[in-house]
Amino acid sequence: MLKYIKSTGIDYGRLQEVVDLDALVYPPELRGTLESISERYKANMEMFIYAVDGDNKLAGYICFFPISHRLYNAILGSDTMFDDNIAPEDVLPYTQDDNNIFLISVVVNPRYAGQGVGTRLMQEMLSYLDAKQQRGCRINCVMAVTASKGGEKLLDSFGLYPLRKYDTRCTLVQAKLPLTMRP
């Protein structure tokens, strides 16, 4: 049985687990470094929801955060794919104003593939964003870049629609809230 926990403070051991898990599922050009992930994390420590096993080892995670209007416009208007090149100053805390959410990763350890972990992580994120909205944070949209057919299928099942393809693997997707899983 997996437990789903939200990040709240700097835990470099957990961030190292994120880097190690990324190495199992992403090609080198789509992986962040411990340094870049840590710098973004310092800007918003609410960016991760972790799936952990009974030994408290990382089975998967989802990483999402509000982004600056500058980055939002750059993502929409550029052919550049944004991922590890997101500067810490473009990662924002949640505010009462308009929050555009960038979903940077949904990663599941291959040992847990096909067990609904990705779906559950998405549901946990949506629940988290809904709670933020209930407390007065206006969420405008969720956008992401898919890096696999499985990721594209997962995000499509929650209503994120394609905006553009970056290459044969990666697609920019976006949706307005509320997102719900389609039957």
Predicted confidence (pLDDT) per residue in 37-50, tens digit? 999 999 999 999 99
- Higher pLDDT: 121 or 159? It is 121
Q: What is the pLDDT of residue 11?
A: 86
Q: Is the pLDDT of residue 20 over 70?
A: yes
3-state secondary structure of 160: coil
| pLDDT value of position 182 | 58
Residue 64 in this model has a pLDDT that exceeds 80? yes
pTM metric for this prediction = 0.93
Class of domain 3-176: alpha beta
Domain boundaries, the chain: 3-176
Cα–Cα separations (whole angstroms), residue 47 to 101, 105, 111, 181 = 10, 10, 24, 21
Q: What is the dihedral of CA 11, 12, 16, 21, to 10 degrees?
A: 20
Q: Which of 87-91, 118-122, 150-154 has the lowest mean pLDDT?
A: 150-154
- pLDDT, one tens digit per residue, over 100-144 is 999 999 999 999 999 999 999 999 999 999 999 999 999 999 999
